[in-house]
Structure 1
């Protein structure tokens, strides 16, 4: 999706750009854009970006399934991609992969799952924010990545996928 000088797209595990469907501007300020992409359980994907503005250094903050947050810096007129979440070492990634949403009929799962978390299941968000170019890099901190647990069958989206 190309919006306000930033191009954000998802590629499949073979590096092909995935088609985007029903792209539309959301919200009252025109800063948010959304679309749908096809997903298939077991397929890996990567998130890509390109800055065509050339004016500012930006933070590319990605949120997967509403819970897993990762980020990168993008210099003016630069591009980049993210293939997953760094876990144990700075160079070891847990790759992004589509997975079928597991469901359960256990009623305790209804109480454990927060409503706002359910709204974000199956979503990939990329937030672009201007940052100062002289910001120092933070030390690497490993992240846990356990994926999405089982969701009560009455609260899932029809045909939803998540990331594992």
Structure 2
């Protein structure tokens, strides 16, 4: 799995870690990227672990260019000695969660059908095929950002469901580039959530992990 120092992240399906391909690291050693296989209709979980836990951390995620999906705090080892793996399986809305699901993309033969834009964007698309689908830039990628945090106490659970909206899975044929799958949110499932969760302030960005997902036959 991609690891940077004591930080690591991976994607699970059916309780098993997906294999990673073509793992690469940035020159400064703060970013890791790889490819993972996606299977249509499968739910997945974003996992993060700090095996040293000298400080408190959190791993936020962005899926297909979505707004930030807030993760779970991992406390320092001195405060909690059991192994801690933060697992984010979807978007929490009250007492229900909508899971992440690999879904099929719909191809559009018309650039004008594939994106939302203003009049200037229309001119760009008509004159530059590379801009035929803005969504294609981010569809097919899961990004995990790890932050150092300062835990300040507990607060009642917040409902972030309405603030996260995954893009429509429509991409222009010319911008497909092997992308057949995207991510959507599945039907809501009831969960028993605690009345309060740890709250903290993000102090510094530490590392990032990028997972580009493709059907296994295209890896």
Task: Evaluate the alpha carbon distance shift between residue 55 and residue 85 of structure 1 in structure 2; reply closer, same or farther with a 3 A threshold.
Answer: same
Partner of residue 80 from structure 1, selected from 86, 89, 97? 86
Rg larger in 1 or in 2? Answer: 2
TM-score by length of 2: 0.65
Greater Cα offset, 33-42 or 136-145: 136-145
TM-score by length of 1: 0.85
Question: Structure 1 regions of 5+ residues with no counterpart?
Answer: none
Normalized per residue, the structure richer in strand is 2
Equivalent position SS for 2:137: helix
Count of equivalent residues: 160
Normalized per residue, the structure richer in helix is 2
Are 2:115 and 2:135, in contact at CA under 8 Å, matched by a contact in 1? no
Greater Cα offset, 46-55 or 140-149: 140-149
Partner of residue 171 from structure 2, selected from 144, 151, 161? 151
Question: Structure 2 regions of 5+ residues with no counterpart?
Answer: 78-83, 118-130, 185-219
RMSD: 2.3
Q: Which residue of 1 aligns with 2:54?
A: 55
Greater Cα offset, 50-59 or 120-129: 50-59
Greater Cα offset, 149-158 or 45-54: 149-158
Structure of higher RCO (CA pairs closer than 8 Å, 6+ residues apart): 2
Between the aligned partners of 1:57 and 1:9, the Cα distance in structure 2 is: 19
